[in-house]
Amino acid sequence: MDNQPENKSIQLDTDYENHAINMKFSNNLTDDRERGYILSAAFFSYCTSQGLDKQEVIEMVNSNYDQFTGARDTSLFKRL
């Protein structure tokens, strides 16, 4: 009996015209916590592959978090 979990996927696309990043989740990826875990793991994996250490990632998040979550007219997504 195969006890392996089924594969899940997230596709990211830029949408410069609408200043957005679109995310498409596979049909079997419906839990928001699981989506967040996968996106976070991908982000940290990318940071590691770029040679960033833990302190650099902390500083990057501290410096830029509000720019991504601010009001629509001040968000970095507005400038994509």
b/e sequence 25-50, b meaning 16+ C-beta within 10 Å: beeebeeeeeeeeeeeeeeeeebeee
| Contact present, 23 and 15 (Cβ < 8 Å) | no
Provide the pLDDT for residue 29. Answer: 94
Residue 78 neighbours by CB distance under 10 Å: 13
Residue 46 has pLDDT above 70, yes or no: yes
Helix/strand/coil for 71: coil
Residue 19 neighbours by CB distance under 10 Å: 14
Residue 51 has pLDDT above 80, yes or no: yes
Residue 80 has pLDDT above 80, yes or no: no
